[in-house]
Amino acid sequence: MPIVAQSTETTDWVSRYADEVIEESERRAPGKPVVVASGLSPSGPIHLGNLREVMTPHLVADEIRRRGYTVRHLLSWDDYDRYRKVPAGVPGIDESWAEHIGKPLTSVPAPAGSEYPNWAEHFKAAMIKSLAELGVEYDGISQTEQYTSGAYREQVLFAMKHRGDIDAILDQYRTKKSPVKKQGQKPVDEAELEAAEGSGAAAEDDGSSAAGYYPYKPYCGQCEKDLTTVTAYDDDTTELTYTCSSCGFSQTVRLSEFNHGKLVWKVDWPMRWAYEGVIFEPSGVDHSSPGSSFQVGGQIVGIFGGKQPIGPMYAFVGISGMAKMSSSKGGVPTPADALQIMEPQLLRWLYARRRPNQSFKIAFDQEIQRLYDEWDKLAGKVADGAVLPADAAAYARAVGTAAGELPQTPRPMPYRTLASVADITAGHQDQALRILSELDPENPLTSLDEVRPRLDKAETWINTQVPAEERTVVRDEPDVELLKSLDDQGRESLRLLLEGLEENWSLDGLTHLVYGVPKVQAGFAADATAKELPPEIKVAQRTFFALLYHLLVGRDTGPRLPTLLLAVGQDRVRKLLGA
């Protein structure tokens, strides 16, 4: 039997889809490049939910490339979609942008102050940069260019000629109700549907009107809006007459020469499947309903002589500590936002390790520290060869592509440590280098470049995501009143700590010291294990830690104490602890 992709366990969804896609491609188009596809509408900030639309086929395409096949990952920029509404919270715009509703996104002015020529290019730019940083290889296709150049002319004329067949398919679904929700099923809200659909195209009309069914919608020759109705069409001459309800303009054109309109979404998408020979394309959560774009498209694509792509329905991507994302609202986190605080490898891993139908969250809060701990632990297991095949596959897909490994931090110190140092030093590079060089005296850091870009990501996270009241501010002077109020046990704990500072001045040494002081006070050895200690030792440790935090930063908690002590420095620690 042929052995295909058995290097990983069955949980490696990427290999499984790659197997299916290769087999399907060889059946449909033997000897030709494998075609996978994504589509993004630059109708506003392109957020981390939309990124799944790209990462899912990217990971599959990359696996196919690793096996030696030629692959094309088509990324359609749906920049010829209509401008639907003014998104809230986007800098540089106001309600005056409402006058452009109905125009193609490439005909809408960019937000004030933008360096880009129009709305679509403005919002495409950040995504293009992020995809490059993530190592995503793709062929970008502007739908504005495709339609206005006449590239789809034959397909448009064909759709108009066969409009009766298309209308008959659509009519099967027009009166269908949504399926009955299963008991216990989580409701899908409007924001989630919009995030999955991207442009909101599912809500657009399908070409029906009182004048008949026409799958083509012109943009008005006078006001540029798509608030038009086709009133007549002649198949022989291709003469099309339309009127605009926005400005009252009416025009008759020859569709064989006219390039200022597009097929309605439910016809446009399957037309492109056939035109481009797409084998694999995922779809959003809304495509599970009757009459959805993907389901209807699966029938309409046959009219164009093509087949529906295979591909999963992908689930929602959330943000830890934040509300659900919707591209219609400003301020939703984008891939560029995530890449400000995390390395590309971590972001790739979050998408690679979960099957497309599994939802997950991307952390912008304290959870990012735990995620980085998990990531570093996985890296260690991979290096030791002590990792499950599926986890090893997800790691390999995260750190690089078929083209090679992504640039990485030469010396990846723990993210939480770097964040603590960035917090305490408040941007002072010399201080940061001093602290980090003392973490491991036997192998001291000699330059901050060794811990970049991870250090820069952690510093950005501290400066942009951690509230001011949670930032660490070291005391200038000792808390004299607190020091005076200490009982004998409290004073003894500080004495033991201060006596051991110099000898244990390293990250490991100070960790051993601060955990050991309560043990020694209770009559146990400093290196006694948890199994050898009574439960009350943990209580004593927490009490001791709280005392140190109060004396050093005036709070109950703070960065990990060993890192904090290194950051404050021996002389200042002695001063603040009353030595």
Distance separating alpha carbons of residues 378 and 346, to the nearest angstrom: 11
Number of Cβ atoms within 10 Å of the Cβ of 156: 25
pLDDT digits (tens, 9 = 90+) for 287-330: 666 678 888 999 999 999 999 999 899 998 988 855 344 444 45
Q: What is the pLDDT of residues 195-227, one digit of tens each?
A: 444 444 445 668 888 789 999 999 999 999 999
Preceding amide of 453 cis, omega within 30: yes
CB atoms within 10 A of CB 236: 5
Q: Which of 56-65, 82-91, 364-373 has the lowest mean pLDDT?
A: 82-91
Q: How far is CA 480 from CA 514, 547, 564, 570, in A?
A: 22, 13, 20, 19
Global pTM value: 0.88
Among residues 149, 106, 160, 163, which one has the least CA distance to residue 258? 149
Gap between the Cα atoms of 205 and 291, Å rounded? 12
Closest by alpha carbon to 378, among 391, 366, 390? 391
Q: Are 193 and 324 in contact (CB under 8 A)?
A: no
Q: How many Å is the maximal CA-CA distance in the chain? A: 101
Tally the C-alpha atoms within 13 A of residue 125's C-alpha that lie toward its C-beta. 10
- End-to-end CA separation in angstroms for the chain: 75
pLDDT tens-digit profile of 539-556?
A: 999 999 999 999 999 999
Give SS3 for 434: helix
Give 353-356's long-range contacts (Cβ < 8 A, gap of 24+): 353/391, 353/394, 353/398, 355/11, 355/13, 355/312, 356/13, 356/52, 356/56, 356/282, 356/312, 356/313, 356/314, 356/315
Give the angle 565-569-572 at the CA atoms, nearest 5°.
100
Q: How high is the pLDDT of residue 441?
A: 85
Tokens of 360: 């997950």
Render pLDDT for 525-537 as a digit per residue (tens, 0 to 9).
Answer: 999 988 889 999 9
404: left (phi over 0), alpha (psi -120 to 50) or beta: left
What string of DSSP letters covers 294-337?
A: HHHHHHHHHHTT--PPB-PBP--EEEETSPPP-TTBTT---HHH
51: nearest Cα among 362, 343, 374: 362
Looking at residue 287, its pLDDT comes to: 65
The lowest-confidence range among 119-128, 205-214, 363-372 is: 205-214
For 342, the enclosing helix (H) or strand (E) is none
Residue 182: per-residue pLDDT = 43
